[in-house]
């Protein structure tokens, strides 16, 4: 994720660029909107003529034009290929977004996900006809539970934030079952992802922020203070490694403290890529943790989704898992879909069907490809790559906290002090150098944060080129070249966009031009 | 390992730069008792060929929809997807891009979202649509929460014909947010009754059309009554193709429209990923959950697109956000918009007409079978059949005969054991329908 979010209005620029008649610039093709290309009468799909039988639509027939433009197949192909070429992508270069784990997306995953027994099965077919799909879900569960050393996993959550909701709902259900409904306060470190407080509130909890200590970790004394003589704490939501890229050294003690106070430990698993095969959340006292299959286990981000957020649960919470879930018995695999019986404690259903099958097949394919040995190596390489970047840049940029990091390196903007260049400018200058910027202005505990997560997918050569570029940018900023930073990006398909205008006067859809 | 570019020499050299003796040094913050000394108890790495073989075997253990006469719907629909769609969504630049937070190098995703939002708004007859939700059911749940924010009232009425999974997902979210949901009796032919329950305490009334039983509901009188009591009408659909044939919820007065978009461009996928659609009137837009893409200009004055109104969202507003959602259904909404661009008005309407025609034909065939009776007064491509035997048993028996013959209502909600939901689409051939007729006749006799 990226927590920039600050509306920006770009400075006016003096462009000496020569304009072309077509609007294209070589391979950078101009693209109109589909509404400017197609017409409602054109279509790119050949369908037989309906026979015109009697209508049984109950007098609710749609009349008149909907206004949807149709494109022929070649127009469609060209439109979307041109659009695609305006995107950055992992397959193009390093995508160092901290907290996002933009690793290589193997194409074997795509091939497997499209196998008919996974892609072309209906969620409500008789379970006797979907045994392979259920077996895959069961195998995936086994891998996730083993990697986490946790006794249960709820597969259905459809994304990381949905997994957070799952874990917090389970905690709430457990508290209510124990007659502890007064426990409605959730502790969240100030460095947390925005989803954490938003999730807590969506579950009907209140949020109480814990300050960070000087070393970028949870302030234990502040935590003890918050728990003192209280009977209203439901739990804590903690990311580990945390959003500063640091392992919470006191995590076992934190877990003990929260359990001792009658609460539960929700771990945000966004940074699990730093732990897989080396540390198991179950050994740290975690009660619930979502796993972003689209981060740690290589399912594609797809320009913003779909994600998948299976959530592992401890013994204390497993009986409260959402519906549906897969059970294996003597006759094979079956689904528990209704409340009551063996799902007596379940807090209910989170979505229409069984979660993100298309992501399960990809993630399991990835995990089996790596195996226990490869997963551990991937984790080590991810941590090694991040530390290599941190060490190689520590003399020209300012590392936010001393010591080694885990899978991401956090810098602040002290090195830009008095240069006239800010974190946003620095990020935009990276675009001109052919790199997607790192996560910026997050976490909030650091001024002008730059959070770099290279993942294990980068070679040493690629990292060395990246480091060289970052060093050069830092030196240019210090050398007083602020103006060129303010102009950046120059070599992207677009110059800086006016986000203030977009928010002030929202244009959220195309409308036909008014005829004069 | 084929996914890892570093070799041993690289690792040694890099550790040297860091000043670490071994990789263990980088994990020194992990408490000793939690350090794994051995590999986890899972199989070691395998070749591409070995994995493919394993997965192909698993895949073969299921009966795929395309391999048999197939008539299941109830929230997920089998349609033909043009080859262009799957090719385009596998372009690296779409598949392996992140959320478009850096608009200068994300215009591809952003413009596609802007076009998608416009298509959804047109299809639903609403002013604006967002960049999609996880699926139709979570969109429905979020809409009810939004209605509470908008109306500052907390009583929600869910129509009897709302898909039971949608009702359940809504109940789950509502249960922690002090939203009271009226008891409902999920049976056919009761949706009109919601009108009698609307009063000044009502925040919203949620009505699905075509409903889970396939019946098409006249939303206009419900909207009128809701508005009289300052309540919102949330209109729901599970089959987007239906909107090519029936009146849009917008023209009937809906305030929020949510639905499942899977039927266009997205495969069955055993239930996910799918794509939730979410549209509303202009005046409600700032209370909307989810991502929104908007038009703007760049520093050269050229038209471009950005994610906007993010002050509603969790990464800015944290505990004050309209939702905790941090994603959309990116690739699925791309597939939807590509399929819709190929179809256009003319193609969508023809596709819808073919679906309706296939369903009308199937309904006539089933009505002619002893022990089966079509219950609907109206329907689009799906309807309810009353059987002389428990539907779950019938479906099992049909499966043994190589026909996937619909979804028993009891699979969705308890009770209604004798009701079967049956769906026909443009993919249902004459041979398929004939095979279904023969098998059902045998099973019911």
Q: Domain segments of chain A: what residues?
A: 109-367, 376-492
Cβ contact, residue pair A89, B95, below 8 Å: yes
Instruction: Calculate the alpha carbon distances from A282 to A99, A287, A364, A368 in Å.
Output: 21, 8, 20, 21
User: Helix, strand, or coil here: A327?
Assistant: strand
User: Which residue has tokens 């979210």?
Assistant: B173
B14/A158 Cβ within 8 A: no
Among all residues of chain B, which has the CA nearest to that of A144?
B42
Q: What is the distance in angstroms between the Cα of A480 and the nearest Cα belonging to chain B?
A: 23
pLDDT at A514: 83
Probe site for chain A from B86, B96, B175, B246 (most A CB atoms < 10 A): B96
In B152-169, which positions are buried (b, 16+ CB within 10 angstroms) versus exposed (e)? ebbbbbbbbbbbbbbbbb
* Alpha-carbon dihedral sign for residues B5, B9, B12, B13: negative
Please answer yes or no on whether B345 and A92 come within 8 Å at the CB atom.
no
> Which of 3.40.640.10, 3.40.50.1820, 3.40.50.300, 3.90.850.10 is the CATH number of B84-339?
3.40.640.10
Inter-chain CB proximity B64 and A116 less than 8 Å: yes
Which chain B residues touch A202 with a CB distance below 8 Å?
145, 173, 176-177, 323-324
Flag the least confident range among A53-57, A110-114, B182-186, B312-316: B312-316
Q: Quick check: A208 contacting B, CB < 8 Å?
A: no
Residue A152 CA to residue A166 CA, distance in Å, equals 13
What is the model's pLDDT at position A52? 78
Can the peptide bond before residue B75 be classed as cis, meaning omega within 30 degrees of 0?
no
Separation of alpha carbons B172 and B169, rounded Å: 5
How confident is the model at residue A48, as a pLDDT?
Answer: 96
pLDDT attached to residue A13 = 61
- A295/B contact by beta carbon, under 8 A: no
Q: B182 pLDDT exceeds 90?
A: no
Q: Which residue of B has its CA nearest to A511?
A: B118
CA distance A451 to A389: 11
Provide the shortest C-alpha distance from residue A478 to chain B (in Å). Answer: 24
Domain B65-80+345-444, what architecture? Alpha-Beta Complex (3.90)
- Residue A2 is predicted with a pLDDT of 41
Q: Which fold has domain A376-492?
A: 3.90.1150
Between strands A264-268 and A233-239, the pairing is parallel
Q: Does the beta-carbon distance from B363 to A56 stay under 8 Å?
A: yes
Distance from the Cα of A225 to chain B's closest Cα (Å) equals: 22
Q: Which residues of B touch A367 (CB under 8 A)?
A: 42
Q: What percent of chain B has pLDDT over 70?
A: 100
Residue with the bigger pLDDT between A2 and B326: it is B326
Dump strand ranges (E) for A170-310.
185-189, 206-210, 233-239, 264-268, 288-290
H helices present in A208-350, as ranges: 220-227, 251-260
Determine which of B43, B161, B267, B273 to mutate to test the interface with A (most A C-beta atoms within 10 Å): B273
- B88 to A80: CB separation less than 8 angstroms, yes or no: yes
Q: How far apart are CA A202 and CA A395, in angstroms?
A: 43
Contact B98 A118 (CB under 8 A): no
Give B50 to chain A, closest Cα distance, Å: 9
Q: Which residue of B has its CA nearest to A284?
A: B34
A135, containing H or E segment: helix A131-148
Task: Kindly report the number of other CB atoms within 10 A of residue A16's CB atom.
Answer: 5
Q: What 3-state DSSP class applies to A239?
A: strand
Residue A191's pLDDT is what? 85
Q: Does A351 touch chain B (CB under 8 A)?
A: yes
User: Which candidate, A141, A388, A152, A374, places its Cα nearest to that of A276?
Assistant: A374
pLDDT of residue A7: 54
- CA-CA distance, B267 to B244, in Å (whole number)? 19
How far is B238 from chain A, CA to nearest CA, in Å? 11
Tell if the CB–CB gap between B29 and A246 is shorter than 8 Å: yes
Q: Which residues of A touch B54 (CB under 8 A)?
A: 368
Judged by CB atoms closer than 8 Å, whether chains meet at B327 and A159 is answered as yes
What residues have CB less than 8 Å from B255, skipping those under 6 apart? Answer: B147, B223, B226, B232, B233, B234, B280, B281, B284
Structure tokens, B182 = 């009226």
Look at the block and give the residue holding tokens 């993630």: A363
Q: What tokens does A241 get? A: 């490694």
Domain ranges of chain B: 65-80+345-444, 84-339
Tell me the shortest Cα–Cα distance from A483 to chain B, in angstroms: 15
> What pTM value is reported for the model?
0.97
Which residue in A56, A90, A349 is closest to B379 by CB distance? Answer: A56
Reference A300, options A134, A111, A459; nearest CA is A111
B28 neighbourhood in chain A, CB within 8 Å: 404
- B-chain CB neighbours of A427 within 8 Å are 102
CB contact under 8 A, B296 and A502: yes
CATH class of A109-367: alpha beta
Return averaged pLDDT per consecutive 10 residues of chain A, 516 residues in all. Answer: 54 67 89 96 96 88 96 98 98 96 98 98 98 98 98 97 97 97 95 91 94 91 94 96 95 97 97 98 98 97 95 98 96 94 95 98 98 98 98 98 97 97 97 97 94 98 98 97 96 95 95 81
The answer to whether the Cβ–Cβ distance between A70 and B345 falls below 8 Å is yes
B45 and A33 within 8 Å at the Cβ level: the answer is no
Sign of CA dihedral B270, B273, B274, B280: positive
Percentage above 90 pLDDT, chain B: 92
B107, B131, B344, best to mutate vs chain A, most A CBs in 10 Å = B344
DSSP, res A344: T
């Amino acid at each position: 994720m990226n927590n920039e979010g600050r509306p920006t209005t770009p400075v006016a620029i003096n462009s000496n660029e020569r304009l072309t008649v077509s609007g294209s610039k070589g391979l950078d093709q101009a693209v109109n909107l589909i509404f400017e290309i197609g017409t409602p009468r054109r279509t790119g799909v050949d369908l037989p003529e309906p026979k015109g039988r009697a209508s049984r639509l109950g007098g609710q027939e749609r009349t008149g034009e909907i206004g949807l433009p149709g494109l022929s197949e070649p127009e469609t192909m060209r439109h979307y290929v041109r659009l695609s070429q305006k995107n950055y992508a992992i397959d193009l270069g390093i995508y160092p977004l901290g907290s996002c784990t933009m690793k290589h997306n193997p194409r074997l995953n795509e091939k497997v996900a499209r196998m008919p027994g996974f892609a072309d099965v209906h969620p409500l077919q008789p379970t006797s006809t979907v045994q392979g799909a259920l077996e895959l879900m069961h195998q995936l569960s086994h891998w996730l539970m083993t990697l986490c050393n946790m006794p249960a996993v709820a597969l259905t959550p459809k994304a990381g934030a949905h997994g957070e909701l799952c874990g917090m709902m389970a905690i709430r259900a457990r508290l209510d079952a124990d007659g502890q409904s007064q426990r409605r306060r959730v502790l969240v470190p100030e460095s947390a992802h925005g989803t954490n407080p938003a999730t807590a509130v969506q579950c009907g909890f209140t949020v109480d922020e814990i300050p960070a200590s000087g070393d970028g970790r949870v302030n234990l004394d502040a935590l003890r203070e918050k728990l003192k003589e209280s009977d209203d704490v439901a739990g804590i939501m903690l990311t580990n490694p945390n959003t500063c890229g640091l392992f919470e050294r006191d995590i076992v003690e934190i877990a003990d403290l929260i359990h001792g106070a009658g609460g539960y430990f929700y771990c945000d698993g966004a940074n699990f890529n730093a732990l897989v095969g080396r540390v198991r959340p179950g050994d740290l006292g975690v009660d619930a943790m979502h796993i972003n299959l689209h981060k740690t286990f290589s399912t594609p981000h797809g320009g913003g989704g779909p994600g998948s957020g299976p959530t592992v649960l401890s013994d204390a919470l497993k009986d409260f898992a959402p519906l549906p879930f897969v059970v294996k018995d003597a006759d094979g695999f079956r689904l528990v879909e209704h409340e009551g019986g063996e799902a007596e404690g379940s807090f209910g259903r989170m979505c229409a069907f069984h979660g993100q099958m298309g992501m399960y097949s990809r993630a399991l394919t990835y995990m089996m490809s790596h195996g226990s040995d490869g997963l551990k190596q991937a984790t080590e390489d991810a941590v090694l790559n991040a530390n290599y970047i941190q060490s190689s840049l520590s003399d020209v940029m300012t590392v936010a906290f001393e010591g080694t990091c885990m899978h991401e390196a956090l810098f602040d903007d002290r090195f830009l002090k008095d240069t006239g260049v800010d974190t946003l400018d620095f990020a935009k200058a990276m675009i001109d150098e052919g790199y997607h910027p790192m996560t910026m202005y997050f976490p909030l505990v650091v001024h002008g944060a730059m959070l770099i997560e290279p993942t294990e997918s980068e070679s040493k050569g690629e990292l060395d080129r990246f480091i060289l570029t970052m060093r050069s940018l830092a030196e240019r900023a210090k050398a007083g070249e602020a103006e060129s930073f303010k102009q950046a990006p120059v070599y992207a398909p677009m110059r800086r966009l006016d986000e203030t205008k977009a928010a002030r006067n929202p244009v959220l859809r195309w409308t036909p031009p008014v005829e004069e | 390992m084929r996914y890892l570019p570093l070799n041993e020499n690289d690792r040694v050299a890099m550790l040297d730069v860091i000043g670490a003796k071994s990789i263990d040094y980088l994990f020194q913050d992990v408490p000793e008792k939690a350090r794994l000394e051995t590999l986890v108890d899972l199989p070691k790495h395998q070749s591409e060929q070995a994995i493919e073989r394993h997965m192909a075997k698993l895949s073969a253990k299921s009966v795929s929809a395309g391999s048999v006469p197939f008539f299941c719907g109830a929230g997920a629909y089998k349609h033909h997807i043009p080859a262009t769609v799957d090719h385009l969504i596998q372009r690296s630049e779409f598949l392996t891009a992140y959320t478009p937070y850096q608009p200068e190098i994300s215009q591809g995703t952003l413009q596609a979202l802007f076009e998608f939002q416009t298509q959804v708004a047109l299809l639903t007859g609403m002013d604006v649509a967002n960049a999609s939700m996880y699926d139709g059911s979570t969109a429905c749940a979020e809409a009810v929460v939004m209605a509470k924010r908008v109306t500052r009232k907390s009583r929600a009425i869910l129509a009897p014909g709302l898909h039971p999974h949608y009702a359940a997902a809504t109940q789950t979210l509502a249960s922690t947010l002090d939203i009271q949901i009226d008891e409902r009796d999920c049976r056919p032919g009761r949706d009109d009754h919601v009108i009698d329950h609307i009063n000044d305490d009502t925040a919203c009334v949620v009505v699905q059309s075509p409903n889970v039983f396939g019946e098409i509901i006249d939303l206009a009188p419900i909207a009128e009554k809701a508005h009289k009591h300052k309540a919102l009408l949330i209109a729901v659909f599970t089959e987007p193709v239906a909107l090519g044939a029936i009146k849009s919820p917008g023209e009937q007065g809906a305030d929020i429209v949510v639905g499942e978009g899977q039927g266009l461009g997205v495969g069955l996928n055993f239930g996910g990923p799918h794509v939730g659609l979410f549209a509303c009137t202009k005046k409600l837009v700032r209370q909307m959950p989810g991502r929104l893409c908007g038009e703007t200009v760049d520093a050269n004055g050229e038209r471009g697109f950005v994610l906007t109104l993010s002050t509603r969202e969790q990464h800015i507003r944290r505990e004050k956000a309209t939702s905790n959602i941090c994603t959309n259904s990116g690739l699925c909404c791309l597939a939807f918009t590509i399929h819709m661009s190929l179809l256009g008005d003319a193609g969508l309407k023809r596709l819808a007409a073919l679906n309706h025609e296939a369903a009308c034909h199937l309904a006539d065939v089933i009505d002619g079978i002893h022990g089966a009776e079509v219950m609907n007064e109206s329907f689009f491509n799906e309807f309810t059949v009353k059987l002389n035997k428990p539907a779950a048993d019938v479906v099992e028996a049909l499966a043994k005969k190589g026909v996937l013959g619909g979804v028993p209502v009891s699979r969705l909600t308890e009770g209604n054991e004798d009701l079967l939901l049956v769906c026909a689409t443009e993919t249902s051939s004459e041979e398929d329908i004939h095979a279904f007729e023969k098998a059902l006749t045998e099973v019911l006799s």
